[in-house]
């Protein structure tokens, strides 16, 4: 068994070194789930979801619940008047540019057709 003198050196203190390495940079070292790569996290989360469905405790939205959630989100976003004005402005710009592109394509087609005939 390791004594308090032994813990200062050797392989028994690797986790302490990892924490100290992160502390020097101003951010704590990642541990556990956060330290895993994204594929490992996804695999574990997938297994948890499958287990919940098999057990019957997984939550599934019905259409009414999904409608209410969407409505609640829309209400929260629409309170920000500046954001809504920005959305409307972008939509108008997009529609205007699409109309201009369609008109340009139509005019280009008429010019090409006139040269051949």
Is 112 inside any structural domain? yes
Is 116 inside any structural domain? yes
Digit-coded pLDDT (tens) for 73-93: 888 888 888 989 998 888 888
The larger pLDDT score, comparing residue 60 to residue 14, is at: 60
Is 16 inside any structural domain? no
Is 51 inside any structural domain? no
Is 109 inside any structural domain? yes
Digit-coded pLDDT (tens) for 3-16: 545 444 444 444 44
The pLDDT of residue 106: 87
Is 79 inside any structural domain? yes
b/e code 79-103 from CB counts within 10 Å (16+ = b) = eeeeeeeeeeeeeeeeeeeeeeeee
Is 93 inside any structural domain? yes
Is 113 inside any structural domain? yes
In the chain, the number of structural domains is 1
Full domain range(s) for residue 82: 62-117
């Amino acid at each position: 068994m390791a004594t308090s003198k032994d813990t200062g050196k050797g392989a028994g203190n690797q986790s302490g070194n990892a924490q100290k390495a992160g502390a020097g940079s101003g951010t704590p070292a990642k541990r556990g789930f956060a330290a895993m790569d994204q594929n490992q996290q996804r695999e574990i989360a997938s297994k948890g979801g499958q287990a919940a469905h098999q057990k019957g405790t997984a939550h599934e939205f019905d259409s009414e619940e999904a409608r209410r959630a969407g409505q609640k989100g829309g209400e929260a976003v629409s309170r920000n008047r500046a954001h809504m004005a920005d959305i409307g402005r972008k939509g108008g710009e997009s529609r205007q540019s699409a109309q201009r592109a369609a008109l340009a394509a139509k005019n280009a087609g008429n010019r090409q057709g006139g040269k051949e005939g």
